[in-house]
């Protein structure tokens, strides 16, 4: 891993790319120029590439929820985690601002800047649960392929993580946007100054990420010691000092 400063730059660039491409795809979807599969593939492919090229530099988190899940399980020091999260949020904001500058205003406004949003028929509680479950799948994949040393990190981690993002979006984007990432929501929200249900995209992903991280860590990385087989050795049958000579 590189120094924290270099790692922060990598996280800034990677998250910038995720918002620039991901929210850009949502704008095209809103303008009927791209279907849901295209939106899912845009998110999945950009994350696949960004994770693959930054994993050895910063860990390839590209998501504050992922960074927090690794901090909770002691995989990342507190100061480094905080700096990387700030870099991710700044990258998301920069990506959203550049997108607003480049995309025609009518398209940008029609798609509300690519902000993930709850469908009218989805209550806040259900929205939080959807985001939590989707993020659980994402972080479980991160731990299984990137954190667990037995996993095929170098070969498949970026692709696996990108595909999880893609299938989550294909299944649940119509209900919540399937952000799974506080930065993915924050960047466009700040640019549009639109904060309706914004906390859903912090609470849901953080709950899902935390549960996935703790579950994988406790079950597979630090499993409990097996119970001893047979009666415990007490040493009662061993002769006391001097008894052996007396016998």
* pLDDT (tens digit per residue) in 210-231: 999 999 999 999 876 665 555 5
151: pLDDT strictly greater than 90: no
Q: Smallest Cα–Cα separation from 44: which of 185, 166, 217?
A: 166
What would the pLDDT profile of 202-212 be if each residue is shown by its tens digit? 999 999 999 99
pLDDT of residue 243 exceeding 50: no
Give the domains, in start order, of the chain with CATH numbers: 4-222 (1.20.1080.10)
Return the pLDDT at 2: 81
Locate all alpha helices (DSSP H) within the chain, ordered by sequence. 4-30, 36-58, 64-72, 78-102, 105-110, 124-142, 153-176, 182-192, 200-216, 243-246
Burial of 98 (0-12, 13-18, 19+ CB in 10 A): middle
Higher pLDDT: 209 or 241? It is: 209
Q: Mean per-residue pLDDT for 134-144?
A: 97
The larger pLDDT score, comparing residue 246 to residue 188, is at 188
Q: What is the pTM of this model?
A: 0.89
């Amino acid at each position: 891993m590189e120094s924290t400063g270099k790692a922060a730059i990598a996280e800034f660039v990677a998250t910038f790319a995720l918002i620039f491409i991901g929210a850009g795809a949502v704008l095209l979807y809103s303008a009927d120029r791209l279907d849901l599969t295209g939106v899912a593939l845009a998110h999945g492919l950009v994350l696949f590439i960004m994770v693959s090229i930054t994993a050895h530099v910063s860990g390839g988190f590209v998501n504050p929820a992922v960074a927090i899940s690794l901090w909770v399980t002691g995989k990342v020091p507190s100061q480094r985690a905080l700096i990387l999260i700030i870099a991710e949020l700044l990258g998301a904001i920069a990506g959203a601002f550049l997108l607003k500058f480049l995309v025609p205003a009518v398209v940008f406004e029609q798609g509300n800047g690519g902000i993930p949003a709850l469908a009218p028929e989805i209550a806040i509680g259900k929205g939080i649960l959807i985001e939590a479950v989707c993020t659980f799948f994402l972080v479980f994949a991160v731990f299984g392929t990137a954190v667990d040393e037995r996993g095929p990190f170098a070969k498949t981690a970026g692709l696996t993580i990108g595909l999880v993002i893609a299938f989550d979006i294909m299944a649940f984007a119509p209900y919540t946007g399937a952000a799974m990432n506080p930065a993915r929501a924050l960047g466009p929200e700040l640019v549009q100054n639109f904060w309706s249900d914004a906390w859903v995209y912090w609470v849901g992903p953080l709950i899902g990420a935390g549960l996935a991280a703790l579950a994988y860590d406790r079950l597979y990385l630090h499993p409990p010691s097996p119970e001893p087989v047979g009666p415990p050795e007490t040493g009662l049958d061993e002769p006391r000092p001097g008894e052996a000579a007396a016998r």
